[in-house]
Structure 1
Amino acid sequence: MKSIVFFNNKGGVGKTTLTFNIAHMLAGRGVRVVVLDFDPQCNISAIFLDEIRLFEIWEDVRSDGTVTGCLEPVRRGKGDVLPPRLERVADGLWLLAGHLALSRFEQTLAEEFAKTLASDNDRALDVTTSLDLLSNLAAEQVAADVMIMDLGPSLGALNRAALLACDHLVLPVAPDLFSLQGLRNVGPTLREWRRDWGTVRERGLAGKPQEALPPHDFLPLGYMVQQHLARADRPAAGYARWAQAIPAEYRRSVLDEAPGRTAASFEQDAHCLALIPHYASLVPIAQQARKPIFDLKQADGIGGGQIQAVARCRDSFNQIGEKLLERLGIDLP
């Protein structure tokens, strides 16, 4: 099983939309996929599930139907991570729903992670690795091939703990100043987190050797560009400026490499996994239908040129799925 996250410190670059559509695309091709909602805003849970079903999960007296409920015994110091009760949302695709109360775990994670760096502490280890244990329990339950986590855009303790449970990450970006700055923020932070956890693993913790601690290095697979529609206040020259800057910034900030001779455009950059067009009106239609964009039908309310756009979207996400599986080293069933 391989775990992956679409993550950037910059919000609004389509992380959750990518997660939803790619999860469906992989599942549709026979890959068994579990999605974990580690975002306290619960955006992907609200796309997968209607309000009535989400309310039922949140109100269930059993607490194993959400990420928060499964982690709550650890947060309170009253027990272990609960085995999750996954929601089957499509053939070969499962979700562990989020909950707004997950934000209460942030402070505990911050405090206990600091203790893992300073001392040998059982409680610190249990808290720091709790998201990794939950991920493993979810994957084992359905024999998942791929685990996808949905995170918020912060560089806080919650996302650090989630990344410690993740093998790889893909950075969604947009061709703008904010995504460029996002790369400058997230790259050094990821290296710092990787270095800190590597230090803990090298010395062992709470009597456990290195091989007993989570082995994930959340290594970058590349980036994906969500393209904007042309706007009167953002001329083509502005797009080109950031399109030329982001490949070099990705190598410098995320890979910690000297840019050297970088690609002149996204299309020429081997680290660019995909250029995803702006699907404009198709996105809200897909969210209303609770379907991936590429599965929309006329009965869902599309017509005219939107039908061709859906077909192009299907081709695009098929290519993305193939490239991701290739880089993850996973063969199609």
Structure 2
Amino acid sequence: MKKLTFFNHKGGVGKTTLTVSVADALADLGLRVLLIDADPQCNLTSYYLDEHLLDELLGESGTDDGGTIWSAIKPVVDGKGGVRKFDLYEVREDKIWLCPGDVLLADYEEELPAAWTGSFARKERDYDVTCVLHDMAEEMAARYEVDIVLFDIGPNVGPLNRSILLGSDAFITPVAADLFSLRALSTVGRSVDRWIRDWATIRSLASPVAQKRLLKGTPVYLGYVTSAYKVFSGRSSTKPHEFWERKIAPRVKDRVVDVLGAIHPSFVPYSPQNKLAAIKNFHSIVWRRKPRTAGWQSGSFAVM
């Protein structure tokens, strides 16, 4: 089982859309996929889940009957037990399952800075809090026999995303062809570099027994996917997108690939071929909604 995260702290680059599309593509190849909505905004969950069911789920997430990501990790965060099991939502028959997101994941994120500091001091509880999302993912993946876990995360470089990235096997950067996405790449590279180095220190301080259960801290950079949203600004947007598109590859190499490669070449195994795909604009992606389980709908994507 592998864990893959789509990560860019710049918002509006199509992370959730790409996550859903990749999940369907992997399912078409015969793989079993677990989707984990680790963004407190719950966009991935909102895509699949009827709003009335989502409202009910969020209202019960802090109870013993809860069925969200927060419901699963709350006992660990509260220091009152292990990861709580609940039935996941089958959003594509025998192929894709969803762990719903929760706005209360923001409460968990508030605990993470202290847990990070405590991990340097080799405190077991702080290890538990830092690693709990991946402990949860591995339990769910084993129970549903999935081949790959896809994390959909929020647009930031905060402690929640740090923990998710450090436990992932690999990550992909969705990038829009615009100035702000280009600028954000610098922060992506610096942040991941710092997280990897700091976590390596935490692992080196841990006992041999503790090291076996800690996050691996070795997320491989697979590359980036570009997109160009159609912007109605009273003038053609094609040329500006082409202008920024040409600047993305050298910026990725300079600010992400070279930075992570300086830690070890194994972090960037596909360099210099880091561009994975390009989507001209998300208006070209059309979903056809298909009924799934009761109260749920999923979509398969077709590029027109």
User: What TM-score results when the alignment is normalised by the length of structure 1?
Assistant: 0.79
Match of 1:204 among 183, 203, 206: 206
Number of the residue aligned with 2:12 = 12
Q: Which has the higher helix share?
A: 1
Give the deviation of 1:58 after TM superposition: 3.1
Question: SS of the counterpart of 1:127?
Answer: helix
After TM superposition, list the pairs within 5 Å mapping 1:243-282 onto structure 2.
243-256=245-258, 270-280=273-283
Give the deviation of 1:132 after TM superposition: 1.3
Give the deviation of 1:292 after TM superposition: 2.9
Match of 1:70 among 63, 69, 72: 72
The separation in 2 between residues aligned to 1:97 and 1:244, in whole angstroms, is: 37
Gaps of 5+ in 2: 262-271
* Structure 1 residues 284 and 31: CA distance shift in structure 2, 3 A: closer
The separation in 2 between residues aligned to 1:112 and 1:208, in whole angstroms, is: 19
Give the deviation of 1:20 after TM superposition: 1.1
The separation in 2 between residues aligned to 1:109 and 1:275, in whole angstroms, is: 35
The separation in 2 between residues aligned to 1:78 and 1:45, in whole angstroms, is: 27
Number of the residue aligned with 1:228 = 229
Question: Does structure 1 conserve the Cα–Cα contact (< 8 Å) formed by 2:46 and 2:54?
Answer: yes
* Structure 1 residues 280 and 17: CA distance shift in structure 2, 3 A: same
What do residues 57-86 of structure 1 show as CA deviations (whole Å, max 9, x unaligned)? 334553451110111112222222213421
Q: Which has the higher strand share?
A: 2
Gaps of 5+ in 1: 260-268, 295-309, 314-333
Higher relative contact order (CA 8 A, sep 6+): 2
Identity %: 34
Number of the residue aligned with 1:160 = 162
Number of the residue aligned with 1:301 = none
After TM superposition, list the pairs within 5 Å mapping 1:142-221 onto structure 2.
142-205=144-207, 208-221=209-222
Question: Does structure 1 conserve the Cα–Cα contact (< 8 Å) formed by 2:122 and 2:205?
Answer: no
Question: Does structure 2 conserve the Cα–Cα contact (< 8 Å) formed by 1:5 and 1:150?
Answer: yes
* Structure 1 residues 216 and 35: CA distance shift in structure 2, 3 A: farther
The separation in 2 between residues aligned to 1:124 and 1:59, in whole angstroms, is: 28
Question: Does structure 2 conserve the Cα–Cα contact (< 8 Å) formed by 1:47 and 1:287?
Answer: no
The separation in 1 between residues aligned to 2:82 and 2:36, in whole angstroms, is: 18
Number of the residue aligned with 1:141 = 143
Ranges of 4+ aligned residues in structure 1 off by more than 6 Å: none
Return the letter of the residue paired with 1:222. G
User: What TM-score results when the alignment is normalised by the length of structure 2?
Assistant: 0.86
Question: Does structure 1 conserve the Cα–Cα contact (< 8 Å) formed by 2:176 and 2:227?
Answer: yes
Give the deviation of 1:293 after TM superposition: 4.8
Match of 2:107 among 104, 109, 118: 104
Number of the residue aligned with 2:21 = 21
